Chain A
């Protein structure tokens, strides 16, 4: 099975619908596309924020995401994957990250999208800074994100098709 994958880091906004459409264009074997979009919220811990600024480690961020896309392809029968992550300054309401996965059935597409997001949050070298009226501070890593990524460590077989 050939799964085409796109991994891209960029400052500019992306178009989720256009990226998802690319996964099915010209083929009729895809039965499910799952897209996840991470969006900049306008508040953090009840306080309004002006913006997030994302720093990343160029080269490693792409490599780390590509490693996880390759792992997702080994674990699930995927027909296409797109991961796009923005960096730089992002205002509330703007998209930060998107993951789209295509497969013949929904289980693989859902599971792979969740797996990729869980790993992206804990293993891809990005760091968020938050601007509030009181100043700028680094966002702390959340234990819940580590826990979410850890649950994939128990090897699972791809689910049987519905």
Chain B
């Protein structure tokens, strides 16, 4: 699964993107965040407050309940501050 990170999520994890294998029992965006948080200190730090982290599947916003089945690219990022 291709994952992309932006802003301070990217900085905390230390990379802008990666391809990782996801366990079969991880089926939603929320579960994926919980799984990622177990991958090491930097991930735990990035996802220490999962409620503030936003997610997108294939470049469209999704919530934590969204299924990751069939996702091509999943992105995680902080609340947006453009404009």
Residue B70 is within 8 A (CB to CB) of chain A in the complex: no
Number of interface residues of B (CB under 8 A): 16
Q: Map CB proximity to B onto A120-162 as digits: 1 under 8 Å, 0 otherwise.
A: 1111111111000000001111100100000000000000000
B80 engages A138 (CB within 8 Å): no
The answer on a CB contact under 8 Å between A60 and B60 is yes
Chain B, range 59-83, C-beta contacts under 8 Å to A: 59-61, 75, 77-83
Interchain CB contact under 8 A, B59 and A121: no
Mask, B13-39, CB within 8 Å of A = 1, is 000000000000000000000000000
Within 8 Å CB of A56, what residues of B?
Answer: 82
Give the residue name and chain of the A residue nearest to B75 (CB).
A57
A90-132 Cβ-contact flags toward B at 8 Å (1 or 0): 0000001100000000000000000001001111111111000
Known: A57-B59, A60-B59. A128 touches B81 (CB 8 A): yes
A13 within 8 A of B: no
Q: Give chain B residues whose Cβ lies under 8 Å from the Cβ of A38.
A: 83
Main secondary structure of the interface of A (DSSP, over half): mixed
Interface membership of A70, Cβ < 8 A: no
Q: Nearest CB to that of A138 among chain B residues? A: B8
A117 in complex: contacting residue of B56, B75, B83, CB < 8 Å = B83
Shortest distance between the CB of A83 and any CB in chain B (Å): 10
The residues in A between 61 and 80 inclusive whose CB is less than 8 angstroms from any CB of B are 61, 63-64
B81–A127 CB distance below 8 A = yes
Structural contact, A126 and B4, CB atoms closer than 8 A: no
Residues of B within 8 A of A (CB): 4, 6-8, 56, 59-61, 75, 77-83
> Besides the contacts A122-B80, A127-B82, what 9 more A-B pairs have beta carbons closer than 8 Å?
A55-B7, A60-B75, A64-B60, A120-B83, A125-B80, A126-B80, A126-B82, A127-B80, A139-B81
